[in-house]
Amino acid sequence: MIRKLTVLLLLLFTINSHAQEDAWVYFTNKPDESAALSNPISMLTQKAIDRKQNHGIAIDARDVPVHEPYISDLKLQTGITVLAKSKWFNAVHVRGTETDILALNSLPYVNSIDFANNSLDALSRSSAIENKNEVEDESIVFTYGNTQNQVEMINADELHLDDFTGEGITIAVMDSGFPNVNTMGAFQRLRDNGDLLDGYDFVNRNADVYANTASSHGTRVLSTMAAFVQDEFVGTAPDASYYLFLTEDVGSENPVEESYWVEAAERADSLGVDMINTSLGYRVFDNSNYDYTPADMNGQVAFITKGASIAAEKGILVVVSAGNAGATTWQTVGAPADSPDVLSIGGVNENGDYVAFSSQGGAAQVGYQKPDVVARAGSAYVIDQNNTITQNNGTSFSGPILCGGIASLWQAIPDASPAEIMDLVRQSASQFSAPDDLLGYGIPDLALARTLGLEEAFKEDISFYPNPVKGDINLSIPSTIGQIEISIYNQLGQKVNMANISLESNRLNVSGLASGIYLLKVSSERHSRTLKFIKE
């Protein structure tokens, strides 16, 4: 009996030792770091450098690529397959047996190893992520013109009326497949305008992002932002520019997809992308040893969540679908929607009511609200790979609907930082004063967000000199304001002077006023501010 048990244990050990595992291998350094940092154009595009400078974001060691000789040597190690790399984490994602992966610790350039199966590594994360496209189900064919509801619900139509349609904003879309985007009629306007920039398939390692037809999910997601069919369908940012990155392998559920996503985010950063939209989310995997738990959705555990937080740190506004687990035992948002640094989007129906499948906030998100806000996820209008307007359910669509709307908003207030844009979106939402775990801060009003943003810029950016003044007052006004009206009041509240000024004519002569203290009221179409000056 003892002998049989010994044989069985040996058999189990043999099986386990040959099982393929996933792990992240972290390197000790980047030998080319100093040279790369002294010449940033060698690793970043000029647009990326400009974006970082505009937002006051330093170029640092995380922008330096992983040292390729390390990767090349790692590929030569017994039983090791390198599947993805991350400059932000200075790491690679590998696959191999536990024994072969652990053997990498002997390499001088390997700092640490983190197994996806946390039982193999006490330092690894203890958890799980959301099954990407669950619950998105097709329903009836689109009835003519009904994109109006999902656009008007967030008041993006008012931005469009003022010609803010996302132009000048670059969005990277991370998803599972984009078949026919390069040929179908719904994206003809996008292609003609040169706004379909480029793409890459990180799963299959090739530049033909349209060749993978296993999933059309990305095509549908993109349509909610970028598609245009005259009198039938208008996305929320039809004039934004788009990079398409395939990071999700629909044939399996494995942590390597998190690594693909981070790799794509790093490329987006290098290209100077302004926004990332992703409808992907992770919690459980084919190998249950890799699973996360709801408690892990705290913004600090999942590899993809940590990557999304770094993307935000780099000045990218990351918009993530909350997930479709609201009616399951999991219930809470998945990764990377759990990051406090991203804007996580839940779902409502056409009437603005919570839809049961939309993932909710949970106890793991301590000190911050998830989801952040919501948009239409119930029977949202999309265009499929056959160029057919149809309806789908899922926060996979509320996320990009709002992402496109935010791109249009950002075009309207281009000097705002990503963090400021996120705050304005939350402040404009329907239940900002009383958020909850179903709708977060509620349904945003992007026209109101624009007003709030301009008002803030108006308050902060209006200045004048000299003070005290003898002759001319010189005013500095934001470029987004245009013409403003100036009124001067004495201490009795009587108006003593009035004039219109603009960026081109921003000087006001007050030499005719008697000496004393005056109030200078500066007014635009929607805002006003009162300043005090002394006339000598």
| C-alpha closest to that of 345 among 250, 444, 260 | 444
Q: From the candidates 22, 100, 175, 274, which is the catalytic residue?
A: 175
**Is 175 annotated as catalytic?**
yes
Q: From the candidates 67, 93, 160, 217, which is the catalytic residue?
A: 217
CA–CA distance from 53 to each of 50, 242, 288 (Å)? 5, 22, 43
What is the DSSP annotation of 201-250? ETTTTBS-TTS--S--HHHHHHHHHH-EETTTEE-S-TTSEEEEEE---T
Beta bridge partners of 375: 347
**Is 63 annotated as catalytic?**
no
Measured distance CA(358)–CA(351) in Å, rounded: 15
DSSP-H helix ranges across 64-155: 68-75, 98-102, 147-152
**Is 217 annotated as catalytic?**
yes
Cis amide bond preceding 435, omega within 30: no
Measured distance CA(283)–CA(174) in Å, rounded: 17
What's the token pair of residue 208?
């033909």
Q: From the candidates 86, 309, 321, 396, which is the catalytic residue?
A: 396
Three-state DSSP class for residue 425: helix
Measured distance CA(62)–CA(501) in Å, rounded: 46
Helix, strand, coil fractions of the chain, as percent rounded to 5: 30, 25, 45
Measured distance CA(360)–CA(454) in Å, rounded: 32
Beta bridge partners of 509: 472
Measured distance CA(101)–CA(85) in Å, rounded: 16
Which residues are known to be catalytic? 175, 217, 396
